[in-house]
Amino acid sequence: MRVRLMLIFLGLALLAALPLVVTSYYLYLAELAMVNVIIAVGLNLLSGNCGQISLCNASFMGIGAYCTALCTIRLGLPTLIALPAGVFISALLGAALGYPARRLSGLYLALITLGFLELVGIVIEELPDYTGGIRGLKVPRPDIFGFSLQSNGLLYLFVFVLTVGAIVIGYNVQRSRFGRAFDAVRQSPFAAQALGIPVARVKMIAFSLNAAFAGFAGGLLASVVGFIDPPEFGILTSIQHITFIVVGGLGSIPGSIAGAVLLTALPEVLRGVQEYGEVVYGIILLGTLLFLPRGLIGLVARLQTLRSAKPSAKEPAYGAP
Amino acid sequence: MTWRIILQLALSGLSIGSIYALVGLALVLPFKASGIVNFAQGEIVTFGAYLALILSGLGLPYLAVVPLVLVGAAAFGMLTERILIRPIVNQPEFTLVIVTFAIGFIIKAVIRLHWQDNTFSIDAPFVGPPLVLGALRLNPAYLVFIVSTLVVVATLFIFFGYSKFGKAMRATALDPIAAKLMGIRVGSVFSAAWALSTMLGASVGLLLAPVIGINPEIGHLILKGLVAAVIGGFSSLGGAVVGGLLLGLLETYAGAFFGATFKNLVPFGVLILLLLLRPQGLIGVSSARRV
Amino acid sequence: MALLEIDGLSVRFGGVAAVADVSLAIAAGEIHGIIGPNGAGKTSVINAITGMTVPQSGSIRFADREIAGVAPHIISSFGLGRTFQHVELFGDRSVFDNILTGFYRHQSYGLLAGALRLPKALKSERTTREQARMLIEAFDLAAFADSPAGLLPFGIQKRVDIARALAAEPRLLLLDEPVSGMSEAEAEAAVATMRKLAREHGITLVVIEHNMRVLMNLAERVTVLYQGRLLASGAPAEMQANAAVIEAYLGDAA
């Protein structure tokens, strides 16, 4: 256990030192990956642990992005206030969606999230005076205590620290009674009810939490990329988010991290065959669903099982003690 | 507000509603047969349109293209069901939804790979100047939409009501195990349901291609089909048809009286309202269990 | 005063009456059996008591509180627990986590406290984990504590189900066919456990069964349901000798 902790610290230290070794392009890529990690961790709590399907994750990312951007641009608020504001609004709207969605599941839940996605898209486009409409918004670099993060290295560190924080929070929630409640609601709502777990309220909490993570990531994305526009927050993006957690392994935080990082890096690896990017994405998603239902983490677990003689009692990281 | 305008709008609404009805039918069919909603249905419509484009490009006239596309789509549906859907039927709903999304995603990506985002068009016999019926001017294409839908509905009605295979499908939808025990080849029924639904989807592509042009975004239509299906409670074929027509009418009138923005909001407004207040649709039955 | 009092309960699905005008009273500390052939309405009665179905008419009072039509999780919070015929464990989590989840309603820290691992949350987790460990010891599940619950033999799963239900500290526990699918030996052990629960922990038990023999050794009183109606009620021996009860069971495996 000690060894593992030390390895993690070492890894984090190395990652933090990245700006010293790589060019700003790769820093940018790393920042995108980290934003996606935050998305994946949040979505995993909702869909992987709580089993609620959501096709509108990109919307919450967009809500967070636009809120943060507008707070910065129109209200002149510093980033350390604009970001939490974005998170807050996102979480609120997540709860607003979670409330009516609490009694729906499966198909109907997917549909209502789809409806929400389209609705948000329309709202963003139809209010160009506020959101810049389809022309988008330019977003300045984060402004910490009056100091603007123009340096790429500092921006990277900023995103890095926040990402690690988000992962820790995600992990804590998963290990808390709420994480257990999420899993209970997914696997057996009836048993959960019988144990006094308020299923509908738990679903709502899951939605709100997911929205908070997505909104947080959206706010960061706006600062990293410097520009946001509506197409970024449509159904394709939502599907990409789902790909992160499916490929990584539903329910597992390490899986979500791995999935997000790999699938952010993938388009870069496929640089030479740019146009094929989308097709490959789709095939990876489909392939994972058909052949690796438990994702990469499941694959790792199965390989571990094959190595030991007897059937494994350890299943993929569902908060093992 | 003259009667002429109201009637004109009604015709418009019914014709676009027919399209929605067809997409709705295509969605409800496999759902009734195998409990799966095919979120790739929008891309099936696109697929039908582009297949028509290819065949048209080979010099074939529209009327020859139609049966070829239908057969091609049916084959595609059967293949998809057999290879991609059958293996995962027992997985959680989450997986099923995403799988069909992924399939649609791939179809669209492949199409864009070859044709990019350009818009193409093909010729069809029903594209022409408006017909004049008394005080009304009717786009002949609209007429074809309505008539096609009527033909499809009538055919399905006869098929499910009176043909042996149709009855087999109904039995399977009600209780697959009992159906199996009675000697019904459930696997074939699933394949047939999917083939039927992809045919329906592709036929929408065929109808729309000459009228609105062919581009990868046609698939967006699935949302309208979903709303139509939800209005019918997602369990009733007749309901999906009624739902589609209703949606078409609502949209058209909303657009005429309140403008384009409002028109765009109609489907989602209806969807969300229904899902919140009456998830069983205007026609379905609500379940007794609560969680 | 009865702990659980059902009066004129009726549950209908569409046109079919699953339960018609059933009344019964269960005293605190009692071990009460509800028995009947399949289709007698036992599950519907349980679902109505636990709030999973809303009865059309009748009253259900628990500890002098009307619970008919109340939301399931609120009914549970009043101290009414249940186990399931088909177990319903959280299959891909360990036995330990399953039982830990049972303590949910006794933990009170909020989401923020959990997310930030505030002392309040840490303390609650420590205490609860200790309690879960004790429960696992008490039910002889230590060997399986880390195994995914869904992979265990059915008999063990049923034990986990009961342990988990107990974690919520119910005053009354409804056991839905607790020994179905068990071997003779397992069933005997389960019966002994249930008796111990009632005697040592003072938990009122309501055992739903279709097997009279099991209830003979366990229940103090038995209520017989048949086709949604109450057929007879009394000591197990009386029920076994009751002509109407015997006739109802003719053709049904005992």
Strand partners, B133: B136
Residues of B in contact with C51 (CB under 8 A): 290
C-alpha to C-alpha distance for B168 and B181, rounded to whole angstroms:
12
Average pLDDT over residues A259-276: 79
pLDDT(A57) > 80? yes
The residue to which tokens 């394709």 are assigned: A236
Average pLDDT over residues B214-237: 87
Residues of B in contact with C72 (CB under 8 A): 290-291
Residue of C nearest to B286 (CA): C14
Rg (CA), chain C: 19
Q: Does C53 touch chain B (CB under 8 A)?
A: yes
Q: In this predicted structure, what is the pLDDT of residue C16?
A: 82
**Percent over 70 (pLDDT), chain A:** 94
Which H/E stretch holds residue A227?
A: strand A227-228
CB proximity under 8 Å: C 116-135 to A: 116-117, 121, 124-125, 128
C-alpha to C-alpha distance for A222 and A66, rounded to whole angstroms:
8
Give the strand pairing for C57-62 and C31-35: unpaired
pLDDT(B56) > 50? yes
Q: In this predicted structure, what is the pLDDT of residue A194?
A: 92
pLDDT(A36) > 70? yes
Sign of torsion over alpha carbons A241, A246, A251, A256: negative
Residues of C in contact with A187 (CB under 8 A): 89-93
What rounded mean pLDDT belongs to chain A? 87
Average pLDDT over residues C209-223: 82
Average pLDDT over residues C68-94: 90
Cβ contacts from A onto B, under 8 A = 109
Q: What is the pLDDT of residues C133-170, one digit of tens each?
A: 998 988 888 998 998 998 998 888 988 998 999 898 89
Residue to test with chain B: of C10, C46, C52, most B Cβ within 10 A: C52
Q: Does C77 touch chain A (CB under 8 A)?
A: yes
Q: In this predicted structure, what is the pLDDT of residue B282?
A: 61
Using the beta-carbon criterion (under 8 Å), do A176 and C115 form an inter-chain contact?
yes
pLDDT(B284) > 80? no
Q: Is A309 helix (H, G, I), strand (E, B) or coil?
A: coil
* Phi and psi angles of residue A230, each rounded to the nearest 5 degrees, phi first: -50, -40
Q: Is A315 helix (H, G, I), strand (E, B) or coil?
A: coil
Average pLDDT over residues B107-129: 86
**Band of pLDDT at residue A315, cut at 50, 70 and 90:** very low
**Band of pLDDT at residue B5, cut at 50, 70 and 90:** confident
The interaxial angle of helices A235-248 and A24-43, nearest 10 deg, is 80
C-alpha to C-alpha distance for C239 and C226, rounded to whole angstroms:
13
What is the DSSP secondary structure assignment for residue A133, as one 8-state letter? G
What rounded mean pLDDT belongs to chain C? 87
CB C75 within 8 A of CB A145: no
Task: Report the CATH architecture of A24-307.
Answer: Orthogonal Bundle (1.10)
Residue of B nearest to A103 (CA): B291
Residue to test with chain C: of A38, A102, A173, A176, most C Cβ within 10 A: A176
Which H/E stretch holds residue A208?
A: helix A199-225
Give the strand pairing for C31-35 and A227-228: unpaired
Residue of A nearest to C117 (CA): A172
Residues of chain B that touch chain C, judged by Cβ-Cβ distance less than 8 Å: 288-291
Cβ contacts from B onto C, under 8 A = 13
* Degrees, nearest 5: CA angle A122-A277-A14: 95
pLDDT(C216) > 60? yes
**Percent over 90 (pLDDT), chain C:** 31
Q: In this predicted structure, what is the pLDDT of residue A197?
A: 93
Q: In this predicted structure, what is the pLDDT of residue B1?
A: 59
Q: What's the pTM value of the predicted model, to 2 decimals? A: 0.88
pLDDT(A274) > 70? no
Q: Does C112 touch chain A (CB under 8 A)?
A: no
C-alpha to C-alpha distance for C165 and A228, rounded to whole angstroms:
50
Residue of C nearest to B288 (CA): C53
Q: Which are the contacts of B123, defined by CB distance < 8 A and separation ≥ 6?
A: B56, B62, B210
Q: Which of A1-10, A20-29, B178-187, C3-12 has the highest mean pLDDT?
A: C3-12
**Band of pLDDT at residue A93, cut at 50, 70 and 90:** very high
* Degrees, nearest 5: CA angle A181-A185-A187: 115
The residue to which tokens 């526990």 are assigned: C173
CB A41 within 8 A of CB A257: yes
Q: What is the pLDDT of residues C119-140, one digit of tens each?
A: 999 999 999 999 999 989 888 8
**Percent over 90 (pLDDT), chain B:** 26
Q: In this predicted structure, what is the pLDDT of residue A312?
A: 47
Burial (CB count within 10 angstroms: exposed 0-12, middle 13-18, buried 19+), residue A133: middle
Query: Token digits for C51?
Result: 């709030």
Residue of C nearest to A171 (CA): C115
Q: How far is C181 from chain B (nearest CA, A)?
A: 23
Q: Does C104 touch chain A (CB under 8 A)?
A: yes
* Phi and psi angles of residue A265, each rounded to the nearest 5 degrees, phi first: -75, -30
What b/e readout covers B3-24, taking b as 16+ CB neighbours within 10 angstroms?
eeeeebbbbbbbbbbbbbbbbb
Query: Token digits for C62?
Result: 């628990």
Query: Token digits for A191?
Result: 């048993």
Average pLDDT over residues A248-262: 92
Q: What is the ipTM of this complex?
A: 0.88
Q: What is the pLDDT of residues A160-210, one digit of tens each?
A: 999 999 999 999 999 999 999 999 999 999 999 999 999 999 999 999 999
Q: Does C44 touch chain B (CB under 8 A)?
A: no
**Band of pLDDT at residue C113, cut at 50, 70 and 90:** very high
pLDDT(B136) > 80? no
Using the beta-carbon criterion (under 8 Å), do A321 and C104 form an inter-chain contact?
no
Average pLDDT over residues A249-273: 85
Q: Which of B84, B91, B103 lies closest to A293 in CB terms?
A: B91
Using the beta-carbon criterion (under 8 Å), do B290 and C53 form an inter-chain contact?
yes
Using the beta-carbon criterion (under 8 Å), do A178 and C114 form an inter-chain contact?
yes
Q: Which of A115, A193, A276 lies closest to B268 in CB terms?
A: A115
pLDDT(C104) > 60? yes
Query: Token digits for A214?
Result: 């997505």
**What is the SS3 string spanning chain C?**
CEEEEEEEEEEEECCEEEEEEEEEEEECCCEEEEECCCCCCHHHHHHHHCCCCCCCEEEEEECCEECCCCCHHHHHHCCEEEECCCCCCCCCCEHHHHHHHHCHHHCCCCHHHHHCCCHHHHHHHHHHHHHHHHHHHHCCCHHHCCCEHHHCCHHHHHHHHHHHHHHCCCCEEEEECCCCCCCHHHHHHHHHHHHHHHHHHCCEEEEEECCHHHHHHHCCEEEEEECCEEEEEECHHHHHHCHHHHHHHCCCCC
* Degrees, nearest 5: CA angle A51-A57-A59: 150
Indicate the range of C200-204, C219-223, C250-254 predicted with least confidence.
C250-254
CB A87 within 8 A of CB A219: yes
Residue of C nearest to B285 (CA): C14
Q: How many CA atoms lie within 13 A of A270 on its CB side?
A: 15
| Chain centre to alpha carbon of residue C230 | 20
Using the beta-carbon criterion (under 8 Å), do A126 and B261 form an inter-chain contact?
yes
| A129, A191, A271, B260, C182 from C177: Cα distances, Å | 64, 15, 61, 60, 10
Residue to test with chain B: of A107, A112, A120, A186, most B Cβ within 10 A: A107
Using the beta-carbon criterion (under 8 Å), do B290 and C72 form an inter-chain contact?
yes
* Binding partners of C (≥3 Cβ pairs within 8 A): A, B
Query: Token digits for C82?
Result: 């249940």
Q: In this predicted structure, what is the pLDDT of residue B280?
A: 66
Q: Is B142 helix (H, G, I), strand (E, B) or coil?
A: helix
Residue of B nearest to A98 (CA): B276
Q: In this predicted structure, what is the pLDDT of residue A316?
A: 43
Q: Does B223 touch chain A (CB under 8 A)?
A: yes
Between residues A272 and B224, the one the model is more confident about: B224
Q: What is the full DSSP assignment across B195-254?
A: HHHHHHHHHHHHHHHHHH-B-GGGGGGHHHHHHHHHHTTTT-HHHHHHHHHHHHHHHHHH
Q: Which of A78-87, A124-133, B178-187 has the highest mean pLDDT?
A: A78-87
Q: Does C72 touch chain B (CB under 8 A)?
A: yes
Residue to test with chain C: of B285, B286, B289, B290, most C Cβ within 10 A: B290
What is the DSSP secondary structure assignment for residue B259, as one 8-state letter? -
Indicate the range of A36-45, B273-282, C206-215 predicted with least confidence.
B273-282
Q: How far is C134 from chain B (nearest CA, A)?
A: 31
Comparing CA positions, the residue from B73, B69, B97 lying closest to residue B85 is: B97
Between residues A87 and A24, the one the model is more confident about: A87
C-alpha to C-alpha distance for B142 and B133, rounded to whole angstroms:
14
Q: Domain coordinates of chain C in residue numbers?
A: 91-169
Q: In this predicted structure, what is the pLDDT of residue A223?
A: 87
CB B227 within 8 A of CB B247: yes
Rg (CA), chain A: 20
Q: Does B95 touch chain A (CB under 8 A)?
A: yes
What rounded mean pLDDT belongs to chain B? 85
**Percent over 70 (pLDDT), chain C:** 98
Q: What dihedral do alpha carbons B164, B170, B176, B177 form, nearest 10°?
A: -60
* Degrees, nearest 5: CA angle A270-A16-A69: 75
Q: In this predicted structure, what is the pLDDT of residue A103?
A: 81
Residues of chain A that touch chain C, judged by Cβ-Cβ distance less than 8 Å: 169, 172-173, 175-178, 180-181, 183-184, 187-188, 190-199, 205, 209, 251, 313-315, 318-321
Taking the CB of residue C192, how many other CB atoms lie within 10 A of it? 12
Q: Which of B37, B98, B275 lies closest to A246 in CB terms?
A: B98
Number of H helices, E strands in chain B: 11, 2
